[in-house]
Amino acid sequence: MVGVGSQGKPPTVKEVARHAGVSPMTVSRTLAGGANVRPDLQERVLAAVHELGYRRNENARILRPGQASGLIGVAITNLGNPYYGNFALGVEEVAAETGRRIVLGNTGGDPARERQLVADFLGRQVEGLVLVPAGGPSDHLQPGRLGDVPLVLASRRIYGLDVDVVLLDDVGGAYRGTLALLDAGHTRIGYLGYVSSAFTGARRYEGYVRALEERGLHPDPALVFREQEDAAGGAIRRLLDLDEPPTAIFSANNRNSIDALREIGRRLRSGATPQEMPALVSFDDFELAELMPVPVTIVDHDPRQLGREAARLLLSRLGADARQRGPARMVEMPVRVAPAVPSA
């Protein structure tokens, strides 16, 4: 019951067997569920297990052919971002439901790091991979390079790579968000987006344009800033400083939204009135949006569900006997467009 303490190596089946006066096989069978083992022997085995503090060595078990590792490799771009944190949580939850664990790596958006992580994951015999692609070259993900370990991409897809993908309804969300502004009477609507999120950025911009055009409008190049490197402060200032500033802004992600609101707050403190400030639509939720000094509409979604769905797609490829083949699937998770309101 006390276990071995800190001395020596952990006990093995053999030692448990000796302790219980049976053969290693009886121990193994007992631990596997006890089919075809006499109850009294099982008891002796379990007692010995308890006594010695025995713990099965999973790595040795996995070594045998046909044994799955129970590991899912997950590589994401930024764990510190709540969006990806929740995504990872979703993957972990679904994996855990089948007794699997995730091995997690943070790429920081670096393709080289992604390549390295994938190689390591494969070496550890992961059963599958979930990736938020870092961008850049993707030859390490091409068919065959992964053996037959299934891969699911999330948030972005990689053109030319025919694998399962889970995305947000970027186009629809941006379309409906922009439409909400148009319906409120706005016609000069600025656009803010990151350059780094090329894939989602293009999709969200597409939704923005589609909504405008449906109302006979066209994107005004002077109002569109799609190239934010990092902080969007500069773009916001330029937008607000125009002779005829936009009366509303569509922001393609919450980082840009927060930057915009910071600048708006700054101007309000300097004497500007809320009426002079643009309304905002933010793709991505953020906390306390309802307390903002200008009306904010949120294109809301649930990254955790995105993670859960990614994991589900992956698990469906881990069929019992043979690798589940079938055409690559693309799932678009729904988004909700609504004015920020007190939530509690």
For a second copy, the binding residues (CB under 8 A) are: 2-6, 9-10, 53, 55-60, 62-63, 65, 69, 71, 78-82, 84-86, 88-89, 92-93, 96, 101-106, 119-120, 122-125, 143-145, 147-148, 231, 233, 258-259, 261-263, 265-266, 286-288, 290-293, 304, 323, 342-344
Q: In the chain, how many H helices and how many E strands? A: 11, 12
What CA–CA distance (Å, rounded) separates 224 from 208? 10
Q: In angstroms, what is the minimal distance from the CB of 343 to a second copy?
A: 7
Q: Report what 3 binds from DNA, a second copy, none; CB cut-off 5-8 Å by kind.
A: a second copy
Residue that is written with structure tokens 């002077």 in the block = 222
State which residue, 56 or 312, has the beta carbon closest to a second copy. Answer: 56
Q: Which residues contact 126 (CB under 8 A, 6 or more apart)?
A: 69, 71, 72, 73, 103, 149
265 Rama sector, left if φ>0, alpha if ψ -120 to 50, beta otherwise = alpha
* Binding at 344: pick from DNA, a second copy, none (beta carbon under 5-8 Å per type): a second copy
CB 73 within 8 A of CB 117: yes
**To the nearest whole angstrom, how small is the minimum distance from the Cβ of residue 12 to DNA?**
3
Question: Least separation, in Å, of the C-beta of 344 and a second copy?
Answer: 5
Question: CA dist 117 to 75, 103, 105, 129, 312, Å?
Answer: 7, 10, 7, 10, 22
Minimum CB separation from DNA for residue 3, in Å? 14
Six token digits for residue 2? 């006390």
Residues 63-82 that bind DNA (CB under 7 A): 63-67
- Residue 111 CB, shortest distance to DNA, in Å, is 26
d(Cα 46, Cα 151) in Å, to the nearest integer? Answer: 39
Per CB under 7 A, does 329 bind DNA? no
